[in-house]
Amino acid sequence: MDKEIKTIHSWKNISLVEEFVPLPNGKNVVHTSICHPGAAVILPITEEGEIVLIKQFRPSLKKWFLELPAGTIEPNESVLSCAMRELEEETGYNAETIIPMGQVTPLAGFCDEIQHLFIAKDLTSTQHLTCDDDEVIEVVLMPLEMLEQKIVSGEVSDAKTIACLSKAKLSGFI
């Protein structure tokens, strides 16, 4: 039997749904879930070895976060195009080299979002930052060691930023 989906609410390209899901144990559940088109997360590194981050005010948590640039995939947009667009919109940099590093899932418990990770090198500054109405952003450059200290101290707490850096390091990219 195909799954049945009932949409409760939609905003931007996201929706909250209730869906009928058959489990591997033979039971069936009605599961409440966020349907999300997916996102790109970009780890940009300058020639000097500094990582380009954004300091961003997050309305959901009412505070500033130091994060890697990232954003939601638009309709009919490839993941790679999304990564390049978000990099320029949020940091004002273009990358000549952009390498996929796999995917992570931020909230598998009740959200189907997949975050596609990229490392971006050979950067040139275009200064073309473009912010949405609810985005308040500053660009911050920082060496990896300082960023890792901020992860330990808790100043950097964004899971996708920590996961992306960890994956890049374990994979030998940084």
Q: Which of 2, 47, 96, 133 binds a second copy (CB under 8 A)?
A: 133
Task: Please state, in angstroms and rounded to a whole number, the distance separating the CA atoms of residues 169 and 174.
Answer: 5
Min separation Cβ 164 and a second copy, Å: 9
Give the whole-angstrom CA distance, residue 150 versus residue 119. 20
Map residues 29-68 to x or -, x wherever contact with a second copy holds by CB under 8 A. x-xxxx----------------------xxxxxx-xx-x-
Q: Name the residue nearer to a second copy (CB basis): 27 or 75.
A: 27
The tokens for 156 are 């950097």
Q: Residue 32 phi/psi, 5° resolution? A: -90, 130
Smallest distance from a second copy to CB 77, Å: 17
CA gap 77, 17 in Å, rounded: 23
Q: Which of 85, 112, 121, 140 binds a second copy (CB under 8 A)?
A: 112
Under the binding rule (CB under 8 A), the answer on residue 144 touching a second copy is no
Determine contact, residues 115/104, Cβ cutoff 8 Å: yes
Q: How far apart are the first and last CA of the chain?
A: 46
Q: Which of 78, 125, 130, 171 binds a second copy (CB under 8 A)?
A: 171
76 has which bridge partners?
A: none
Q: How many residues belong to the chain?
A: 174
Rule CB under 8 A: which residues touch a second copy? 8-9, 11-12, 14, 16, 19, 21, 23-25, 27, 29, 31-34, 57-62, 64-65, 67, 102-113, 115, 133-134, 136, 148, 151-152, 154, 157-160, 162-163, 165-167, 170-171
